[in-house]
């Protein structure tokens, strides 16, 4: 619906108003609203789909690519509880190992960890 600051309850209520039964949210580089979203969506009978807009470095997170490929965003959604657990690990690893200039994951790491 939007890219930006939105009240979670308003999004969930609008989802129901439009006759939809599920809603996904993603934060940029984190999962800051995931727990609140999960609780609010369940309270209103909407299936929460939790995700993250990951920052992805094509080659190395720590070195500039020799082929001048720029980092890009990838929307990653969890399909089930196992997928949510894997997403938490991905986001945590990216943020814990972040350099001062980048908190991107590599495409290779994302594909090796992607399950559910």
Per-residue pLDDT for the chain (116 aa), expressed as one digit of tens each? 556 667 999 999 999 999 999 999 999 888 999 999 999 999 999 999 999 998 887 665 555 555 656 778 889 999 999 999 999 988 888 888 766 555 556 555 565 666 65
Number of Cβ within a 10 Å radius of residue 27: 15
Alpha-carbon Rg for the chain in angstroms: 16
Those residues whose C-beta lies under 8 Å from the C-beta of residue 5, and which sit 6 or more positions away, are: none
What pLDDT does 113 receive?
62
Please state, in angstroms and as integers, the Cα–Cα distance from residue 40 to each residue in 3, 34, 49, 109, following that order.
Answer: 19, 10, 12, 32
CA 57/CA 45 separation, integer angstroms: 37
What pLDDT does 85 receive?
93
Domains of the chain (ranges; CATH) run 8-113 (3.20.20.140)
């Amino acid at each position: 619906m939007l890219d930006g600051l939105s009240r979670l309850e308003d999004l969930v209520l609008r989802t129901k108003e439009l006759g939809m039964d599920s809603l996904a949210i993603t934060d940029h580089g984190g999962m800051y609203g995931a727990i609140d979203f999960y609780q609010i969506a369940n309270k209103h009978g909407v299936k929460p789909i939790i995700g993250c807009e990951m920052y992805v470095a094509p080659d190395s997170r720590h070195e500039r690519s020799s082929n001048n490929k720029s980092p890009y965003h990838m929307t990653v959604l969890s399909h089930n509880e196992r997928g949510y657990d894997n997403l938490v690990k991905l986001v945590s690893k990216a943020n814990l190992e972040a350099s001062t200039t980048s908190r991107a994951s590599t495409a290779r790491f994302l594909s090796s960890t992607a399950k559910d």
